[in-house]
Amino acid sequence: MSSKIGIIGSGIVGQTLANGFIKHSYQVTIGTNTASKRDELRAKTNGQAMVGTFEDAAQFGEVVVLATKGIAAEAALNAAGPRNLAGKTVIDTSNPIADAPPVNGVLQYFTPQNESLMERLQKAAPDARFVKAFSCIGNAYMVDPDFNGQKPTMFICGNNDQSKAEVRTILEQFGHDVADMGTIESARAIEPLCVLWCIPGLRGGGWNHAFKLLRK
């Protein structure tokens, strides 16, 4: 099992997952594109994460997390260096949210329905093993979520079965029920779950919910 995690992205998702991995005994390097944020990031991880550039995080991680703004994800991957991601599991948390404002609480995406952001990223870094995860739940519930004993479902997909098994192990450690939706094209269905998840929040109904897949 890989123990070194590189996180490309310094926002609330990058910080939350950094602290989650540290809590679960992983070593973490978190990368930012803005040098002036480094001290703040050290403070936000109680000095326990190493902090560097996107490239530093990509080089450090045996498993890499991509947690940048969707519209900047391809640029972030290029800054991280696709060669630093070759053969590695890359957990893609990002969603293709457009800069245009939501319409009555419905986010707008910059990808068409028959394409996903993760497919674009896979083309930009063809040797990385992308797995979509953490994209369909709010950051407050990414690590050890407490829904009165019920585990939220985390929908994942990707082309490499070994990487999906690695991500499944992490997600189960973090308290999620994992639903593997298949190959990378399924990101076309998983990424829009963020639109659905955000509607109650954007319409004033709160953000304290998660998806659950019922099975029998």
Ligand X SMILES: NC(=O)c1ccc[n+]([C@@H]2O[C@H](COP(=O)([O-])OP(=O)(O)OC[C@H]3O[C@@H](n4cnc5c(N)ncnc54)[C@H](OP(=O)(O)O)[C@@H]3O)[C@@H](O)[C@H]2O)c1
Binding positions for ligand X, 167-196, rule CB under 6 A: none
Provide the 10 A C-beta neighbour count for residue 191.
27
The rounded distance, in Å, linking the Cα atoms of 189 and 109 is 13
* Under rule CB under 6 A, residue 69 binds ligand X: yes
* Under rule CB under 6 A, residue 75 binds ligand X: yes
Closest distance between ligand X and the C-beta of residue 160, in Å?
21
Binding positions for ligand X, 83-102, rule CB under 6 A: 93-95, 97
Closest distance between ligand X and the C-beta of residue 181, in Å?
16
> Taking Cα atoms as reference points, which of 36, 105, 117, 16 lies closest to residue 70?
117
Residues near 130 by beta carbon (within 8 Å), at least 6 away in sequence: 90, 92, 118, 121, 122, 158, 159, 163, 184
Which helix (H) or strand (E) element contains residue 170? helix 161-173
* Under rule CB under 6 A, residue 67 binds ligand X: yes
Greatest alpha-carbon span in the chain: 51
* Under rule CB under 6 A, residue 13 binds ligand X: yes
Closest distance between ligand X and the C-beta of residue 30, in Å?
9
CB-nearer residue toward ligand X: 161 or 196: 196
| Residue in the shown chain whose Cβ atom is closest to ligand X | 11
Out of 68, 89, 153, 160, point to the residue binding ligand X (CB under 6 A). Answer: 68
DSSP code for 128: S
The rounded distance, in Å, linking the Cα atoms of 17 and 164 is 18
Q: With contacts defined by CB under 6 A, how many residues of the chain interact with ligand X?
A: 25
Q: Report the DSSP pairing between strands 89-92 and 129-132.
A: parallel
The rounded distance, in Å, linking the Cα atoms of 55 and 67 is 14
Stretch that binds ligand X, among 42-50, 106-114, 133-141, 143-151 (CB under 6 A): 133-141
Out of 2, 4, 11, 177, point to the residue binding ligand X (CB under 6 A). Answer: 11
**CA 104-110-113 angle, 5° bins:** 90
Q: Which residues pair with 91 in a beta bridge?
A: 65, 131
Closest distance between ligand X and the C-beta of residue 190, in Å?
11
* Under rule CB under 6 A, residue 33 binds ligand X: yes
Site for ligand X, rule CB under 6 A: 9-14, 32-34, 37, 67-70, 72, 75-76, 93-95, 97, 134-135, 138-139
